[in-house]
Structure 1
Amino acid sequence: MPSFNDDIQGTGAVVLAGVLNACRMKGEALRDQVVVVHGAGAGGAGVALAIREGMRREGLSEAEIAGRVFVLDSRGLLTDDRHMEDYKRDLATPRALTDGWAGTDLENVIREGQATVLLGLSGQAGIFSEGVVRAAHANTTRPLVFPLSNPTANTEALPADILAWTGGQAIVATGSPFDPVRLHGETHEIGQGNNAFIFPGLGFGAILARVREVTDEMVTAAAYALAEYTQANHPGRTYPPVDELSHASIHVAVAVIRQALADGVATEFTLRGQSDAELLDTVKRKFWQPKYLPFRPRE
Protein backbone atom coordinates (compact mmCIF):
# COMPACT_ATOMS: atom_id res chain seq x y z
CA MET A 1 0.00 0.00 0.00
CA PRO A 2 1.54 3.35 -1.01
CA SER A 3 2.18 5.60 1.97
CA PHE A 4 4.15 8.61 3.13
CA ASN A 5 5.07 10.08 6.50
CA ASP A 6 3.21 13.34 6.99
CA ASP A 7 5.13 14.30 10.13
CA ILE A 8 8.38 14.20 8.14
CA GLN A 9 7.51 14.69 4.47
CA GLY A 10 4.34 16.73 4.86
CA THR A 11 5.96 19.12 7.32
CA GLY A 12 9.00 19.45 5.07
CA ALA A 13 6.87 20.17 2.01
CA VAL A 14 4.68 22.82 3.62
CA VAL A 15 7.66 24.65 5.13
CA LEU A 16 9.55 24.53 1.82
CA ALA A 17 6.53 26.08 0.10
CA GLY A 18 6.41 28.93 2.62
CA VAL A 19 10.14 29.60 2.36
CA LEU A 20 9.94 29.66 -1.45
CA ASN A 21 7.18 32.26 -1.32
CA ALA A 22 9.01 34.35 1.28
CA CYS A 23 12.12 34.33 -0.92
CA ARG A 24 10.05 35.59 -3.85
CA MET A 25 8.57 38.32 -1.67
CA LYS A 26 12.08 39.66 -1.01
CA GLY A 27 13.22 39.21 -4.62
CA GLU A 28 15.66 36.40 -3.90
CA ALA A 29 15.95 32.67 -4.51
CA LEU A 30 16.19 29.75 -2.11
CA ARG A 31 19.76 29.12 -3.28
CA ASP A 32 20.71 32.58 -1.95
CA GLN A 33 19.69 31.75 1.64
CA VAL A 34 21.48 30.32 4.65
CA VAL A 35 18.99 28.32 6.69
CA VAL A 36 19.05 27.40 10.38
CA VAL A 37 16.62 24.69 11.49
CA HIS A 38 16.24 24.60 15.28
CA GLY A 39 14.85 21.21 16.23
CA ALA A 40 16.08 17.86 14.91
CA GLY A 41 13.09 15.63 15.62
CA ALA A 42 10.96 14.13 12.87
CA GLY A 43 9.56 17.49 11.78
CA GLY A 44 12.88 19.32 11.87
CA ALA A 45 14.59 16.53 9.95
CA GLY A 46 11.84 16.59 7.34
CA VAL A 47 12.17 20.35 6.94
CA ALA A 48 15.96 20.22 6.61
CA LEU A 49 15.74 17.46 3.98
CA ALA A 50 13.10 19.39 2.03
CA ILE A 51 15.15 22.61 2.07
CA ARG A 52 18.20 20.69 0.90
CA GLU A 53 16.19 19.15 -1.94
CA GLY A 54 14.94 22.59 -2.96
CA MET A 55 18.51 23.88 -3.09
CA ARG A 56 19.52 20.90 -5.26
CA ARG A 57 16.72 21.76 -7.65
CA GLU A 58 18.14 25.28 -7.87
CA GLY A 59 21.57 23.96 -8.85
CA LEU A 60 23.62 23.93 -5.65
CA SER A 61 26.16 21.18 -5.07
CA GLU A 62 26.24 19.03 -1.94
CA ALA A 63 29.26 20.96 -0.67
CA GLU A 64 27.46 24.27 -1.17
CA ILE A 65 24.34 22.97 0.59
CA ALA A 66 26.45 21.81 3.55
CA GLY A 67 27.43 25.43 4.15
CA ARG A 68 23.88 26.74 3.79
CA VAL A 69 21.70 24.40 5.90
CA PHE A 70 22.49 24.11 9.62
CA VAL A 71 20.43 21.89 11.96
CA LEU A 72 20.48 22.16 15.76
CA ASP A 73 19.12 19.90 18.45
CA SER A 74 19.01 20.46 22.22
CA ARG A 75 22.81 20.12 22.38
CA GLY A 76 23.56 22.63 19.63
CA LEU A 77 24.68 22.29 16.03
CA LEU A 78 24.76 18.81 14.52
CA THR A 79 28.34 18.23 13.39
CA ASP A 80 29.77 15.08 11.85
CA ASP A 81 32.12 14.45 14.80
CA ARG A 82 29.27 14.28 17.34
CA HIS A 83 27.55 11.20 18.71
CA MET A 84 23.93 11.27 17.50
CA GLU A 85 21.02 9.14 16.30
CA ASP A 86 21.54 7.60 12.87
CA TYR A 87 18.77 9.61 11.18
CA LYS A 88 20.54 12.87 12.10
CA ARG A 89 23.81 11.97 10.38
CA ASP A 90 22.65 13.11 6.94
CA LEU A 91 21.86 16.51 8.47
CA ALA A 92 25.22 17.05 10.17
CA THR A 93 27.55 19.90 9.23
CA PRO A 94 31.19 19.02 8.51
CA ARG A 95 33.14 20.10 11.59
CA ALA A 96 35.75 21.76 9.36
CA LEU A 97 33.17 24.37 8.33
CA THR A 98 32.92 25.58 11.91
CA ASP A 99 36.64 26.05 12.52
CA GLY A 100 37.19 29.48 14.05
CA TRP A 101 33.57 29.93 15.10
CA ALA A 102 32.92 31.45 18.52
CA GLY A 103 30.51 28.59 19.32
CA THR A 104 27.87 26.26 17.93
CA ASP A 105 24.86 27.34 20.00
CA LEU A 106 21.88 28.90 18.22
CA GLU A 107 22.94 32.54 18.32
CA ASN A 108 26.53 31.82 17.30
CA VAL A 109 25.44 29.57 14.42
CA ILE A 110 23.25 32.40 13.13
CA ARG A 111 26.08 34.91 13.41
CA GLU A 112 28.94 32.76 12.18
CA GLY A 113 26.93 31.03 9.46
CA GLN A 114 25.39 34.34 8.30
CA ALA A 115 21.89 32.83 8.49
CA THR A 116 19.03 34.58 6.70
CA VAL A 117 16.29 32.03 7.46
CA LEU A 118 15.36 30.80 10.93
CA LEU A 119 12.97 27.84 11.20
CA GLY A 120 11.75 26.66 14.61
CA LEU A 121 10.60 23.09 15.18
CA SER A 122 12.00 22.66 18.66
CA GLY A 123 8.87 22.88 20.81
CA GLN A 124 10.81 25.26 23.08
CA ALA A 125 8.75 28.34 23.85
CA GLY A 126 10.66 31.60 23.55
CA ILE A 127 13.88 30.07 22.22
CA PHE A 128 13.90 32.69 19.43
CA SER A 129 14.84 35.50 21.80
CA GLU A 130 15.34 39.12 20.84
CA GLY A 131 19.09 38.51 20.56
CA VAL A 132 18.55 35.52 18.26
CA VAL A 133 16.15 37.37 15.97
CA ARG A 134 18.35 40.47 15.86
CA ALA A 135 21.32 38.27 14.94
CA ALA A 136 19.40 37.01 11.90
CA HIS A 137 18.30 40.54 11.03
CA ALA A 138 21.94 41.67 11.06
CA ASN A 139 22.61 39.29 8.16
CA THR A 140 19.79 40.44 5.87
CA THR A 141 17.33 43.31 5.54
CA ARG A 142 14.36 40.93 5.59
CA PRO A 143 15.01 37.78 7.62
CA LEU A 144 12.63 34.83 7.36
CA VAL A 145 11.59 33.80 10.86
CA PHE A 146 9.17 30.87 11.11
CA PRO A 147 8.37 29.75 14.71
CA LEU A 148 6.49 26.61 13.69
CA SER A 149 6.07 24.61 16.90
CA ASN A 150 2.56 23.74 18.09
CA PRO A 151 0.57 24.44 20.19
CA THR A 152 0.78 28.20 20.65
CA ALA A 153 2.25 27.76 24.13
CA ASN A 154 5.29 26.06 22.54
CA THR A 155 5.94 28.55 19.76
CA GLU A 156 9.55 29.73 19.57
CA ALA A 157 8.53 33.41 19.47
CA LEU A 158 5.40 35.49 19.06
CA PRO A 159 4.93 37.15 15.64
CA ALA A 160 4.33 40.57 17.25
CA ASP A 161 7.66 40.36 19.04
CA ILE A 162 9.57 39.23 15.94
CA LEU A 163 8.16 42.11 13.93
CA ALA A 164 8.84 44.63 16.70
CA TRP A 165 12.47 43.48 17.05
CA THR A 166 13.04 43.83 13.27
CA GLY A 167 11.11 47.06 12.72
CA GLY A 168 8.48 45.19 10.72
CA GLN A 169 11.06 43.84 8.28
CA ALA A 170 10.88 40.12 9.12
CA ILE A 171 8.74 37.76 7.06
CA VAL A 172 6.91 35.63 9.61
CA ALA A 173 4.94 32.40 9.36
CA THR A 174 3.85 30.13 12.19
CA GLY A 175 2.55 26.65 12.85
CA SER A 176 -0.39 27.86 14.95
CA PRO A 177 -2.96 30.43 13.79
CA PHE A 178 -2.18 34.03 14.78
CA ASP A 179 -4.09 37.23 14.15
CA PRO A 180 -2.53 39.84 11.84
CA VAL A 181 -0.02 42.17 13.52
CA ARG A 182 -0.45 45.93 13.26
CA LEU A 183 2.87 47.81 13.42
CA HIS A 184 3.83 51.34 12.32
CA GLY A 185 0.56 51.75 10.44
CA GLU A 186 0.99 48.50 8.49
CA THR A 187 -0.87 45.22 8.83
CA HIS A 188 1.26 42.08 8.63
CA GLU A 189 -0.59 38.87 7.77
CA ILE A 190 0.82 35.83 9.58
CA GLY A 191 0.78 32.80 7.32
CA GLN A 192 0.01 29.44 8.88
CA GLY A 193 2.24 26.60 7.71
CA ASN A 194 -0.37 23.88 8.13
CA ASN A 195 0.29 20.38 6.74
CA ALA A 196 -3.33 20.36 5.61
CA PHE A 197 -2.17 22.42 2.62
CA ILE A 198 -0.16 19.37 1.48
CA PHE A 199 -1.53 15.99 2.49
CA PRO A 200 -5.10 16.19 1.09
CA GLY A 201 -3.90 17.09 -2.42
CA LEU A 202 -0.95 14.70 -2.22
CA GLY A 203 -3.14 11.82 -1.09
CA PHE A 204 -5.90 12.63 -3.58
CA GLY A 205 -3.47 12.85 -6.48
CA ALA A 206 -1.89 9.54 -5.45
CA ILE A 207 -5.31 7.86 -5.35
CA LEU A 208 -6.48 9.24 -8.70
CA ALA A 209 -3.23 8.19 -10.38
CA ARG A 210 -3.38 4.77 -8.65
CA VAL A 211 0.30 5.02 -7.79
CA ARG A 212 2.50 2.09 -6.85
CA GLU A 213 4.42 4.31 -4.44
CA VAL A 214 4.64 7.91 -3.28
CA THR A 215 8.01 9.17 -4.49
CA ASP A 216 10.10 11.92 -2.91
CA GLU A 217 9.68 13.84 -6.16
CA MET A 218 5.88 13.76 -5.76
CA VAL A 219 6.20 15.28 -2.28
CA THR A 220 8.51 18.00 -3.59
CA ALA A 221 6.11 18.67 -6.48
CA ALA A 222 3.36 19.22 -3.89
CA ALA A 223 5.52 21.85 -2.16
CA TYR A 224 6.23 23.74 -5.36
CA ALA A 225 2.57 23.53 -6.40
CA LEU A 226 1.47 25.11 -3.11
CA ALA A 227 4.07 27.84 -3.55
CA GLU A 228 2.84 28.50 -7.11
CA TYR A 229 -0.79 28.63 -5.99
CA THR A 230 0.05 31.15 -3.26
CA GLN A 231 2.19 33.27 -5.57
CA ALA A 232 -0.56 33.40 -8.19
CA ASN A 233 -3.42 34.19 -5.81
CA HIS A 234 -1.76 35.86 -2.80
CA PRO A 235 1.63 37.26 -3.90
CA GLY A 236 2.16 39.10 -0.62
CA ARG A 237 1.64 36.05 1.60
CA THR A 238 3.69 33.02 2.59
CA TYR A 239 0.60 30.77 2.63
CA PRO A 240 -2.97 31.09 1.37
CA PRO A 241 -5.80 31.69 3.83
CA VAL A 242 -6.88 28.41 5.42
CA ASP A 243 -10.38 28.82 3.97
CA GLU A 244 -8.86 28.26 0.51
CA LEU A 245 -7.63 24.80 1.47
CA SER A 246 -9.83 22.99 -1.06
CA HIS A 247 -8.69 25.23 -3.94
CA ALA A 248 -5.03 24.78 -3.01
CA SER A 249 -5.54 21.01 -2.70
CA ILE A 250 -6.83 20.77 -6.27
CA HIS A 251 -3.72 22.57 -7.54
CA VAL A 252 -1.48 20.29 -5.47
CA ALA A 253 -3.26 17.14 -6.70
CA VAL A 254 -2.71 18.09 -10.36
CA ALA A 255 1.02 18.59 -9.77
CA VAL A 256 1.28 15.29 -7.88
CA ILE A 257 -0.42 13.37 -10.70
CA ARG A 258 1.84 15.00 -13.28
CA GLN A 259 4.92 14.03 -11.24
CA ALA A 260 3.64 10.46 -10.69
CA LEU A 261 3.28 10.09 -14.45
CA ALA A 262 6.81 11.43 -14.98
CA ASP A 263 8.18 9.07 -12.31
CA GLY A 264 6.50 6.08 -13.92
CA VAL A 265 4.62 5.07 -10.77
CA ALA A 266 1.08 5.91 -11.97
CA THR A 267 -1.04 2.93 -13.06
CA GLU A 268 -4.17 4.89 -14.05
CA PHE A 269 -3.38 4.82 -17.76
CA THR A 270 -6.31 7.06 -18.78
CA LEU A 271 -4.39 10.02 -17.34
CA ARG A 272 -1.45 9.59 -19.68
CA GLY A 273 -1.23 12.22 -22.38
CA GLN A 274 -3.66 14.57 -20.65
CA SER A 275 -2.74 18.25 -20.66
CA ASP A 276 -2.60 20.22 -17.42
CA ALA A 277 -6.03 21.66 -18.24
CA GLU A 278 -7.43 18.16 -18.75
CA LEU A 279 -5.87 16.92 -15.52
CA LEU A 280 -7.33 19.91 -13.71
CA ASP A 281 -10.77 19.06 -15.08
CA THR A 282 -10.34 15.41 -14.01
CA VAL A 283 -9.40 16.41 -10.46
CA LYS A 284 -12.30 18.87 -10.19
CA ARG A 285 -14.80 16.25 -11.39
CA LYS A 286 -13.54 13.69 -8.87
CA PHE A 287 -13.19 16.17 -6.00
CA TRP A 288 -15.72 15.63 -3.21
CA GLN A 289 -18.07 18.52 -2.61
CA PRO A 290 -19.77 18.72 0.79
CA LYS A 291 -23.44 19.21 -0.04
CA TYR A 292 -25.91 18.58 2.76
CA LEU A 293 -29.66 18.20 2.60
CA PRO A 294 -31.66 20.69 4.67
CA PHE A 295 -33.03 19.35 7.94
CA ARG A 296 -35.40 20.48 10.65
CA PRO A 297 -35.83 19.39 14.28
CA ARG A 298 -38.43 16.73 14.93
CA GLU A 299 -41.60 18.26 16.32
Structure 2
Amino acid sequence: HALTRRGMGVAWALKEGMKREGLSEEEARARVLVLDSKGLLVEGRSMEAYKQPYAQRRERIAGWEFAGSYPNLLKTIRNARATVLLGLSGQGGSFTEPVARAMMENTPRPVIFPLSNPTSASEALPDDLIYWTEGRALVAAGSPFPPVGYMGRTIPIGQGNNAFIFPGLGLGAVLARAREVTDGMVLEAAYALYDYTQGHFPEFLYPPVSRLREVSPYVAARVMQRALEEGVAEEERVKGLSFKGLMEFVRSRFWEPKYLPYRPAPVI
Protein backbone atom coordinates (compact mmCIF):
# COMPACT_ATOMS: atom_id res chain seq x y z
CA HIS A 1 0.00 0.00 0.00
CA ALA A 2 1.17 3.51 -0.69
CA LEU A 3 1.83 5.41 2.51
CA THR A 4 1.36 9.15 2.21
CA ARG A 5 2.58 11.93 4.46
CA ARG A 6 -1.10 12.45 5.28
CA GLY A 7 -1.09 8.92 6.67
CA MET A 8 1.90 9.74 8.85
CA GLY A 9 0.05 12.80 10.12
CA VAL A 10 -2.80 10.55 11.22
CA ALA A 11 -0.29 8.22 12.92
CA TRP A 12 1.12 11.24 14.79
CA ALA A 13 -2.36 12.31 15.92
CA LEU A 14 -3.17 8.82 17.18
CA LYS A 15 0.07 8.65 19.12
CA GLU A 16 -0.41 12.09 20.64
CA GLY A 17 -4.00 11.28 21.55
CA MET A 18 -2.87 8.15 23.38
CA LYS A 19 -0.28 10.18 25.26
CA ARG A 20 -2.95 12.70 26.21
CA GLU A 21 -4.96 9.78 27.63
CA GLY A 22 -2.04 8.72 29.83
CA LEU A 23 0.30 6.48 27.83
CA SER A 24 4.02 7.13 27.58
CA GLU A 25 5.68 7.91 24.25
CA GLU A 26 7.00 4.34 24.03
CA GLU A 27 3.67 2.75 24.96
CA ALA A 28 1.80 4.85 22.41
CA ARG A 29 4.34 4.18 19.69
CA ALA A 30 4.04 0.42 20.18
CA ARG A 31 0.27 0.64 19.62
CA VAL A 32 0.42 2.51 16.30
CA LEU A 33 1.49 0.02 13.67
CA VAL A 34 2.06 1.50 10.22
CA LEU A 35 2.44 -0.41 6.95
CA ASP A 36 3.55 0.57 3.47
CA SER A 37 3.91 -1.42 0.25
CA LYS A 38 6.70 -3.55 1.77
CA GLY A 39 4.80 -4.39 4.94
CA LEU A 40 5.09 -3.27 8.55
CA LEU A 41 7.52 -0.46 9.30
CA VAL A 42 10.26 -2.01 11.45
CA GLU A 43 13.56 -0.44 12.58
CA GLY A 44 16.46 -1.33 10.32
CA ARG A 45 14.27 -1.66 7.23
CA SER A 46 14.88 0.65 4.28
CA MET A 47 12.29 3.46 4.27
CA GLU A 48 11.92 7.18 3.71
CA ALA A 49 13.00 9.45 6.55
CA TYR A 50 9.44 10.64 7.30
CA LYS A 51 8.40 7.06 8.11
CA GLN A 52 11.22 6.29 10.53
CA PRO A 53 9.61 7.75 13.70
CA TYR A 54 6.81 5.17 13.35
CA ALA A 55 8.96 2.08 12.76
CA GLN A 56 8.39 -0.59 15.39
CA ARG A 57 11.20 -1.85 17.61
CA ARG A 58 12.43 -5.24 16.42
CA GLU A 59 11.60 -6.77 19.78
CA ARG A 60 7.97 -5.72 19.18
CA ILE A 61 7.60 -8.42 16.51
CA ALA A 62 9.73 -11.07 18.19
CA GLY A 63 7.82 -14.34 18.11
CA TRP A 64 5.38 -13.23 15.43
CA GLU A 65 4.45 -15.73 12.74
CA PHE A 66 4.72 -14.39 9.19
CA ALA A 67 6.22 -15.17 5.80
CA GLY A 68 8.67 -12.90 4.00
CA SER A 69 10.90 -10.20 5.41
CA TYR A 70 8.21 -8.19 7.18
CA PRO A 71 4.59 -8.84 8.27
CA ASN A 72 1.92 -7.89 5.75
CA LEU A 73 -1.43 -6.37 6.73
CA LEU A 74 -3.17 -9.65 7.54
CA LYS A 75 -0.26 -10.99 9.62
CA THR A 76 0.10 -7.67 11.45
CA ILE A 77 -3.59 -7.70 12.41
CA ARG A 78 -3.40 -11.28 13.66
CA ASN A 79 -0.11 -11.01 15.56
CA ALA A 80 -0.74 -7.56 17.06
CA ARG A 81 -4.40 -8.36 17.78
CA ALA A 82 -5.35 -5.04 16.22
CA THR A 83 -8.80 -3.63 16.95
CA VAL A 84 -8.67 -0.45 14.81
CA LEU A 85 -7.81 -0.40 11.08
CA LEU A 86 -7.41 2.88 9.18
CA GLY A 87 -6.85 2.98 5.44
CA LEU A 88 -4.87 5.89 3.98
CA SER A 89 -3.12 3.98 1.21
CA GLY A 90 -5.08 5.03 -1.86
CA GLN A 91 -5.14 1.36 -2.86
CA GLY A 92 -8.71 0.40 -3.66
CA GLY A 93 -9.86 -2.97 -2.36
CA SER A 94 -6.88 -3.60 -0.08
CA PHE A 95 -9.14 -4.36 2.92
CA THR A 96 -10.24 -7.84 1.87
CA GLU A 97 -12.71 -10.22 3.50
CA PRO A 98 -9.90 -12.16 5.31
CA VAL A 99 -8.62 -8.83 6.68
CA ALA A 100 -12.08 -7.85 7.96
CA ARG A 101 -12.67 -11.27 9.52
CA ALA A 102 -9.25 -11.18 11.17
CA MET A 103 -10.26 -7.93 12.85
CA MET A 104 -13.37 -9.64 14.22
CA GLU A 105 -11.19 -12.28 15.88
CA ASN A 106 -9.62 -9.54 18.02
CA THR A 107 -12.68 -7.62 19.19
CA PRO A 108 -16.47 -7.91 18.95
CA ARG A 109 -16.69 -4.35 17.56
CA PRO A 110 -13.76 -3.67 15.20
CA VAL A 111 -13.20 -0.15 13.91
CA ILE A 112 -12.53 -0.20 10.16
CA PHE A 113 -12.19 3.09 8.32
CA PRO A 114 -11.33 2.94 4.58
CA LEU A 115 -10.48 6.64 4.36
CA SER A 116 -8.88 6.97 0.92
CA ASN A 117 -10.80 8.85 -1.72
CA PRO A 118 -12.22 9.13 -4.34
CA THR A 119 -14.55 6.15 -4.10
CA SER A 120 -12.43 4.11 -6.52
CA ALA A 121 -9.48 4.36 -4.10
CA SER A 122 -11.46 3.27 -1.02
CA GLU A 123 -9.76 0.32 0.66
CA ALA A 124 -13.15 -1.42 0.90
CA LEU A 125 -16.80 -0.71 0.25
CA PRO A 126 -18.75 -0.09 3.47
CA ASP A 127 -21.49 -2.56 2.56
CA ASP A 128 -18.87 -5.30 2.12
CA LEU A 129 -17.34 -4.49 5.50
CA ILE A 130 -20.74 -4.59 7.19
CA TYR A 131 -21.57 -7.99 5.69
CA TRP A 132 -18.12 -9.49 6.25
CA THR A 133 -18.26 -8.53 9.93
CA GLU A 134 -21.92 -9.54 10.38
CA GLY A 135 -22.93 -5.95 11.05
CA ARG A 136 -20.53 -5.58 13.97
CA ALA A 137 -17.85 -3.29 12.54
CA LEU A 138 -17.85 0.46 13.15
CA VAL A 139 -17.35 1.82 9.64
CA ALA A 140 -16.62 5.29 8.29
CA ALA A 141 -15.20 6.16 4.88
CA GLY A 142 -13.34 9.02 3.25
CA SER A 143 -15.95 9.36 0.51
CA PRO A 144 -19.71 9.74 0.94
CA PHE A 145 -21.56 6.40 0.96
CA PRO A 146 -25.26 5.70 1.48
CA PRO A 147 -26.50 3.91 4.62
CA VAL A 148 -26.18 0.13 4.59
CA GLY A 149 -29.17 -2.09 5.27
CA TYR A 150 -28.34 -5.23 7.23
CA MET A 151 -30.65 -7.68 9.04
CA GLY A 152 -33.42 -5.14 9.43
CA ARG A 153 -31.05 -2.36 10.54
CA THR A 154 -30.07 0.79 8.71
CA ILE A 155 -26.43 1.56 9.43
CA PRO A 156 -25.26 5.12 8.60
CA ILE A 157 -21.79 5.41 7.09
CA GLY A 158 -20.00 8.46 8.44
CA GLN A 159 -17.71 10.46 6.20
CA GLY A 160 -14.32 10.73 7.90
CA ASN A 161 -13.27 13.92 6.19
CA ASN A 162 -10.90 16.67 7.34
CA ALA A 163 -13.57 19.22 6.34
CA PHE A 164 -14.92 18.76 9.87
CA ILE A 165 -11.63 20.01 11.34
CA PHE A 166 -9.80 22.40 9.04
CA PRO A 167 -12.37 25.23 8.72
CA GLY A 168 -12.68 25.51 12.48
CA LEU A 169 -8.96 25.13 13.04
CA GLY A 170 -8.14 27.87 10.55
CA LEU A 171 -10.89 30.18 11.78
CA GLY A 172 -9.89 29.73 15.40
CA ALA A 173 -6.24 30.44 14.63
CA VAL A 174 -7.12 33.60 12.67
CA LEU A 175 -9.59 34.99 15.21
CA ALA A 176 -7.18 34.35 18.07
CA ARG A 177 -4.37 35.92 16.03
CA ALA A 178 -2.27 32.92 17.01
CA ARG A 179 1.48 33.32 16.45
CA GLU A 180 1.55 29.69 15.33
CA VAL A 181 -0.72 26.70 14.93
CA THR A 182 0.57 24.39 17.62
CA ASP A 183 0.30 20.62 17.80
CA GLY A 184 -1.96 21.11 20.80
CA MET A 185 -4.37 23.25 18.76
CA VAL A 186 -4.55 20.60 16.04
CA LEU A 187 -5.20 17.87 18.59
CA GLU A 188 -7.80 20.03 20.35
CA ALA A 189 -9.71 20.36 17.07
CA ALA A 190 -9.95 16.56 16.87
CA TYR A 191 -11.18 16.28 20.46
CA ALA A 192 -13.70 19.06 19.80
CA LEU A 193 -15.16 17.11 16.88
CA TYR A 194 -15.46 14.01 19.06
CA ASP A 195 -17.16 15.93 21.87
CA TYR A 196 -19.58 17.65 19.47
CA THR A 197 -20.53 14.32 17.89
CA GLN A 198 -21.07 12.65 21.27
CA GLY A 199 -23.22 15.54 22.43
CA HIS A 200 -25.40 15.87 19.32
CA PHE A 201 -25.21 12.56 17.44
CA PRO A 202 -24.17 9.89 19.96
CA GLU A 203 -25.26 7.11 17.60
CA PHE A 204 -23.00 8.44 14.80
CA LEU A 205 -19.25 8.19 14.26
CA TYR A 206 -19.20 11.58 12.50
CA PRO A 207 -21.88 14.25 12.34
CA PRO A 208 -23.75 14.67 9.04
CA VAL A 209 -21.96 16.91 6.54
CA SER A 210 -25.11 19.06 6.56
CA ARG A 211 -24.19 20.13 10.11
CA LEU A 212 -20.73 21.37 9.16
CA ARG A 213 -21.69 25.00 9.78
CA GLU A 214 -22.56 24.09 13.37
CA VAL A 215 -19.45 22.01 13.91
CA SER A 216 -16.96 24.62 12.68
CA PRO A 217 -17.74 27.41 15.22
CA TYR A 218 -17.51 24.88 18.06
CA VAL A 219 -14.15 23.62 16.79
CA ALA A 220 -12.94 27.20 16.32
CA ALA A 221 -13.84 28.19 19.89
CA ARG A 222 -12.07 25.13 21.30
CA VAL A 223 -8.99 25.90 19.20
CA MET A 224 -8.99 29.49 20.47
CA GLN A 225 -9.31 28.24 24.04
CA ARG A 226 -6.27 26.03 23.56
CA ALA A 227 -4.31 28.86 21.91
CA LEU A 228 -5.03 31.01 24.96
CA GLU A 229 -3.94 28.22 27.33
CA GLU A 230 -0.69 27.79 25.41
CA GLY A 231 -0.01 31.53 25.32
CA VAL A 232 0.13 31.88 21.53
CA ALA A 233 -3.06 33.97 21.11
CA GLU A 234 -2.39 37.68 20.55
CA GLU A 235 -5.96 38.93 20.09
CA GLU A 236 -6.59 41.05 23.19
CA ARG A 237 -10.39 40.93 22.82
CA VAL A 238 -10.53 37.18 23.47
CA LYS A 239 -8.24 37.07 26.48
CA GLY A 240 -10.17 36.26 29.64
CA LEU A 241 -13.30 35.14 27.77
CA SER A 242 -15.15 32.02 28.92
CA PHE A 243 -15.85 29.28 26.41
CA LYS A 244 -19.36 30.72 25.97
CA GLY A 245 -17.79 34.10 25.26
CA LEU A 246 -15.46 32.56 22.72
CA MET A 247 -18.42 30.91 20.99
CA GLU A 248 -20.20 34.28 20.79
CA PHE A 249 -17.02 35.91 19.45
CA VAL A 250 -16.75 33.26 16.72
CA ARG A 251 -20.43 33.38 15.75
CA SER A 252 -20.40 37.15 15.45
CA ARG A 253 -17.62 36.83 12.86
CA PHE A 254 -18.83 33.72 11.08
CA TRP A 255 -19.40 34.31 7.38
CA GLU A 256 -22.93 33.82 6.08
CA PRO A 257 -23.18 33.49 2.30
CA LYS A 258 -26.00 35.58 0.88
CA TYR A 259 -26.80 35.90 -2.78
CA LEU A 260 -28.51 38.86 -4.44
CA PRO A 261 -31.63 38.11 -6.48
CA TYR A 262 -31.11 38.08 -10.20
CA ARG A 263 -33.15 37.89 -13.38
CA PRO A 264 -31.96 36.23 -16.59
CA ALA A 265 -31.09 38.72 -19.29
CA PRO A 266 -33.57 38.74 -22.16
CA VAL A 267 -32.49 36.89 -25.24
CA ILE A 268 -31.91 39.34 -28.07
1:270 positional shift: 1.3
1:66 positional shift: 2.8
**Alignment equivalent of 1:73, drawn from 36, 53, 59:** 36
Distance in 2 separating the partners of 1:124 and 1:75: 14
Query: Which residue of 2 is the match for residue 9 of structure 1?
Result: none
The answer (yes or no) to whether the contact 1:200–1:249 under 8 Å persists in 2 is yes
Q: How does 1:240-255 map to 2 (within 5 A)?
A: 240-255=207-222
Query: Which residue of 2 is the match for residue 25 of structure 1?
Result: none
Q: Identify unmatched segments of 5+ residues in structure 1.
A: 1-37
| 2:219 matches 1:256 | no
Instruction: Give 1:208's aligned amino acid.
Output: L
Query: Which residue of 1 is the match for residue 180 of structure 2?
Result: 213
Q: How does 1:170-181 map to 2 (within 5 A)?
A: 170-181=137-148
Corresponding residue pairs, total = 262
Distance in 2 separating the partners of 1:39 and 1:148: 13
Q: How does 1:172-191 map to 2 (within 5 A)?
A: 172-191=139-158
Distance in 2 separating the partners of 1:207 and 1:111: 45
Query: Which residue of 2 is the match for residue 53 of structure 1?
Result: 16
Q: CA RMSD in A?
A: 1.0
Q: What SS does the aligned partner of 1:172 have? A: strand
Query: Which residue of 1 is the match for residue 49 of structure 2?
Result: 86
Q: What SS does the aligned partner of 2:93 have? A: coil
Q: How does 1:139-288 map to 2 (within 5 A)?
A: 139-288=106-255
The answer (yes or no) to whether the contact 1:193–1:239 under 8 Å persists in 2 is yes
Q: Identify unmatched segments of 5+ residues in structure 2.
A: none
Distance in 2 separating the partners of 1:66 and 1:294: 56
* Percentage of identical aligned residues: 56
Q: What SS does the aligned partner of 2:140 have? A: strand
Distance in 1 separating the partners of 2:203 and 2:44: 42
1:62 positional shift: 2.2
The answer (yes or no) to whether the contact 1:66–1:94 under 8 Å persists in 2 is no
The answer (yes or no) to whether the contact 2:110–2:136 under 8 Å persists in 1 is yes
* Pair member with larger Rg: 2
Q: What SS does the aligned partner of 2:252 have? A: helix
Distance in 2 separating the partners of 1:97 and 1:195: 32
Distance in 2 separating the partners of 1:212 and 1:253: 16
| 2:77 matches 1:110 | yes
Residue deviations 1:223-281, cap 9 Å, x none?
Answer: 00011111111001111100111110000000010011111111101111101111111
1:39 positional shift: 5.1
Q: What SS does the aligned partner of 2:139 have? A: strand
TM-score (norm 1): 0.86
Distance in 2 separating the partners of 1:113 and 1:43: 23
Residue deviations 1:38-93, cap 9 Å, x none?
Answer: 75311210111000000000001123223311000000000011111111111111
The answer (yes or no) to whether the contact 1:39–1:71 under 8 Å persists in 2 is no
1:214 positional shift: 0.5
Query: Which residue of 1 is the match for residue 103 of structure 2?
Result: 136
The answer (yes or no) to whether the contact 2:142–2:159 under 8 Å persists in 1 is yes
The answer (yes or no) to whether the contact 2:5–2:50 under 8 Å persists in 1 is no
Distance in 1 separating the partners of 2:60 and 2:165: 34
The answer (yes or no) to whether the contact 1:39–1:120 under 8 Å persists in 2 is no
Instruction: Give 1:126's aligned amino acid.
Output: G
Query: Which residue of 2 is the match for residue 29 of structure 1?
Result: none
TM-score (norm 2): 0.96
Distance in 2 separating the partners of 1:115 and 1:179: 27
